[in-house]
Structure 1
Amino acid sequence: MRIGLFTDTYIPDINGVVTSIVTLQKALEEMGHEVYVITNHPSPTKTFVEDNIIYLPGIELKFLYGYTMSSPLHLQALNVIETLNLDIVHIHTEFGVG
């Protein structure tokens, strides 16, 4: 199956959410699934793909421990995500990426 994991926090961040997502990602891949992680990146204008990770435009918020937030509307990213033809969508966040 083609599985999308949507999250506001991913590597290089270090926290429980990242640990959980990486563990799930590796387990699903070992089972033969094609796993994509959709997350944000502190570039306000650019969507890009690297090693099955889709980075959405975001803004780094220093006052929130350096976390990056993105808006929930990414027309550029939507086109990229639609081409993945995901069978399962798993959302790990209630913020912008979710």
Structure 2
Amino acid sequence: MTIATDIIARLGGTRAAAKLLDKPPSTVQSWKGSGFIPARYQSEILRRAQRAGIAMRASDLVGLDQPQPDGEHPTSFDNAPSSLSQKNAA
């Protein structure tokens, strides 16, 4: 399951999500096809989901809690380029 399909399912499916978000179903369907929800929509989704009583966190929208194929946590700098690791180590 992708981030987008998980979020859309939690919002009640494609049509229900589209109605809740005041977007055409084709827009929501495109998110499912790509596997992610573009950043420009994420804060609105979070606000509307919370108003509708749907439990959702910002990290759900970007997949921070999902395991990665290589077993690494997405915020790990263990495998980052050395310049990035050094910058964040300071």
Whether TM exceeds 0.5 here: the answer is no
Please say which structure displays the higher CA radius of gyration. 2
> Does 1 or 2 have the higher relative contact order (CA < 8 Å, sep 6+)?
1
Larger relative strand fraction: 1
TM-score, structure 1 normalization: 0.25
